[in-house]
Structure 1
Amino acid sequence: MKNEQELKDLVRERYAKIAGQGKVENAASCCGATTPSNKVYNIMMDDYTDTDGYVEDADLGLGCGLPTQFALIEKGDTVIDLGSGAGNDCFVARHETGAEGKVIGIDFTPVMIEKARLNAEKMGYNNVEFREGDIDAMPVNDDVADVIVSNCVLNLVPNKKKVIGEIYRVLKPGGHFSISDIVLVGDLPEALKEDAEMYAGCVAGAIQKSEYLSLMEKKGFANLKIQKEKPIAIPSDILEKYLSAEEVKVFNTGGTGIFSITVFAQKPGSKMKKALAHLTDIKETPDCDPRSGCC
């Protein structure tokens, strides 16, 4: 696998290309990165279309959850979205903060920043801004955010420990995050782990679920909770690009799990919100296995 800078350059290049694609094209592939499956269904993303604040032009179909739905955003909050893309989650968050709040989107792909700013200007949102920068070195001062959200982005960053440290730094004492991401249970085949395209596609960069949660606990976050969890199945026509027919069979029956999880946690402080009673676990089980083509 490439080194950290090479992986960042790979993701930046791929997501610059994605910025010019449509939602349908992106959603039919792994986070828009791979050749679309000939079975037309969404592999990872959740449907935003009935969500308050949704802006269709800002939805590139790249997410794996609805973190803003679980983020307990209140009027007047300052919210930061990590890996903000064309601005979709920022605009949903802005609906929750109201005009009196502030939303900051951070993305390291210049064309995404440009697209998001155009969307914000079109909507007349003067309290939504987009900053170019790495989320493992955020262009934000300490103790700024009441809430941090992110949608299928941390898995793309090579140094996840560093990102989690940055989240802790920029949250106010008592602030919290709600992050949707891809995690693993069991090991991916080497062909998938070593493939750059699968890294940009949110799969090869994912780490073990237990390690992911442990990094957050070790940093000192409190009240860590999985708010939502759903299994992700990669269609066979994508797997067959990397694995033999026998390897695909083993992968599909070998116990390796790929999951989208939405995780909540708080930075300790006197202003920690008391709304934990509303944080209910949701586990989704597909009506059928997408690998079978039934979807």
Structure 2
Amino acid sequence: MPTTPTRDAVRERYAAAARSHLTGDASPCCSGSRSGGEPDPITVGLYERTDSPSDAALAASLGCGNPTALADLSPGEDVLDLGSGGGLDVLLSARRVGPTGTATGLDMTDEMLELARRNQAEAGIANARFVRGRIEAIPLDDASVDVVISNCVINLSADKDAVIREAHRVLRPDGRFAVADVVLLRGIPDALRGIVGLWTGCISGALLDTAYVERLTAVGFTDASVEITRTYGRDDLHRLSGLVGDQLPHGWTLEQVVDALDGSFASAFVRASKPAEQ
């Protein structure tokens, strides 16, 4: 399938982040940072360092939540992480499901897969694997996993309906969809949705919280819900302003962009269940 400008931009942004960690020259990638390297407001403070099986995987985490805590994993379960990046959530999941379970990471970026496998080797975790592919076309069999997790990735997809359909397909009956994502709390101007820097920064590609529930329900999920975990105001938006760069829409100032986005987005836990077979 041909790539799209958005997908190419997302892949290159995450490839650059992975290369920086592989070469030891890591710098924040998504969702940005203040000058001077201050942590960005979306990715900071999501995990306890003592919980991580790999310091390198923790350092490379670019998410907006901790889906492994959300999913309430049990020994023996098979887990799939959509857009697994540096592998932190896969490694945490593998440890929670134990030797009788498995954790699979899916990512479209070769550099991220290389980084994840290196982090897996460092952690010495055997029941994890990382595969290449797109979250819109998951290369796994029907009804092959118990839990689908993801961390600030589905909002980056230009075809979220395909992602949700695929998640439903690969889940077993009684399976669980448990992801961390960025959601919109109200609409944003169309002019801002075209800014690639905001898309790869996890804002302008996000769904409305109500639309997320509607799309999950439409493909057959039940008990769909969105739980807001962190909201963002003007100070946070100024920290993220480096993502806009020179891509301001014609006639817009940076302060107008901040005004338009103030209070419009949040990090959230998104949950749903696949019904048992009748």
1:241-256 correspondence runs (5 A): 241=245, 242=248, 243-244=252-253, 246-248=255-257, 250-251=259-260, 256=263
Distance 2:3 2:130 in 1: 24
Query: 2:230 is matched by which residue type in structure 1?
Result: K
Structure 2 counterpart of 1:41, from 34, 39, 43: 39
| Aligned 8 A contact 1:86 1:116 in 2 | yes
| Aligned 8 A contact 1:53 1:95 in 2 | no
Cα deviation for residue 188 of structure 1 reads 2.3
| Aligned 8 A contact 1:157 1:205 in 2 | yes
Cα deviation for residue 265 of structure 1 reads 1.0
Cα deviation for residue 53 of structure 1 reads 4.4
| Aligned 8 A contact 1:84 1:150 in 2 | yes
Distance 2:240 2:72 in 1: 36
1:1-20 correspondence runs (5 A): 5-20=4-19
1:174-253 correspondence runs (5 A): 174-233=174-233, 234-236=236-238, 238-239=240-241, 241=245, 242=248, 243-244=252-253, 246-248=255-257, 250-251=259-260
Cα deviation for residue 227 of structure 1 reads 4.3
| Aligned 8 A contact 2:75 2:97 in 1 | yes
Does residue 1:150 correspond to 2:147, yes or no? no
Cα deviation for residue 252 of structure 1 reads 5.9
Distance 1:252 1:122 in 2: 40
Alignment partner, residue 293 of structure 1: none
Q: Secondary structure at the match of 1:38?
A: coil
Structure 1 counterpart of 2:274, from 267, 273, 286: 267
Unaligned runs of 5+ in 1: 272-295
Distance 2:11 2:104 in 1: 19
| Aligned 8 A contact 1:236 1:248 in 2 | no
Query: 1:63 is matched by which residue type in structure 2?
Result: G
Does residue 1:25 correspond to 2:23, yes or no? no
Distance 1:62 1:175 in 2: 26
Distance 1:235 1:87 in 2: 27
| Aligned 8 A contact 2:77 2:102 in 1 | yes
Distance 1:169 1:249 in 2: 39
1:49-68 correspondence runs (5 A): 49-50=48-49, 52-59=51-58, 60-68=60-68
When the two structures are aligned, how many residues end up with a matched partner? 262
**TM-score, length-scaled by structure 1:** 0.81
Alignment partner, residue 274 of structure 1: none
Query: 1:61 is matched by which residue type in structure 2?
Result: S
| Aligned 8 A contact 2:66 2:151 in 1 | yes
Distance 1:232 1:92 in 2: 27
Q: Which moves more between the two structures, 4-13 or 237-246?
A: 237-246
Unaligned runs of 5+ in 2: none
Structure-2 change in CA distance of 1:20 and 1:175 (3 Å) = same
Cα deviation for residue 52 of structure 1 reads 3.2
Distance 1:218 1:4 in 2: 26
| Aligned 8 A contact 1:148 1:177 in 2 | yes
Cα deviation for residue 10 of structure 1 reads 1.4
Q: Secondary structure at the match of 2:72?
A: coil
Query: 1:38 is matched by which residue type in structure 2?
Result: S
Structure 1 residue ranges, 4+ long, deviating more than 4 angstroms after superposition: none
C-alpha root-mean-square deviation of aligned residues, in Å? Answer: 2.4
Cα deviation for residue 172 of structure 1 reads 0.3
Q: Secondary structure at the match of 2:27?
A: helix
Structure-2 change in CA distance of 1:267 and 1:245 (3 Å) = closer
**TM-score, length-scaled by structure 2:** 0.86
Alignment partner, residue 284 of structure 1: none
| Aligned 8 A contact 1:53 1:93 in 2 | no
Alignment partner, residue 121 of structure 1: 121
Distance 1:64 1:237 in 2: 15
Alignment partner, residue 72 of structure 2: 72
Identity of aligned residues (%): 32
| Aligned 8 A contact 1:83 1:108 in 2 | yes
Q: Secondary structure at the match of 2:94?
A: helix
Structure-2 change in CA distance of 1:51 and 1:226 (3 Å) = farther
| Aligned 8 A contact 1:52 1:95 in 2 | no
Cα deviation for residue 212 of structure 1 reads 1.4
| Aligned 8 A contact 1:37 1:235 in 2 | no
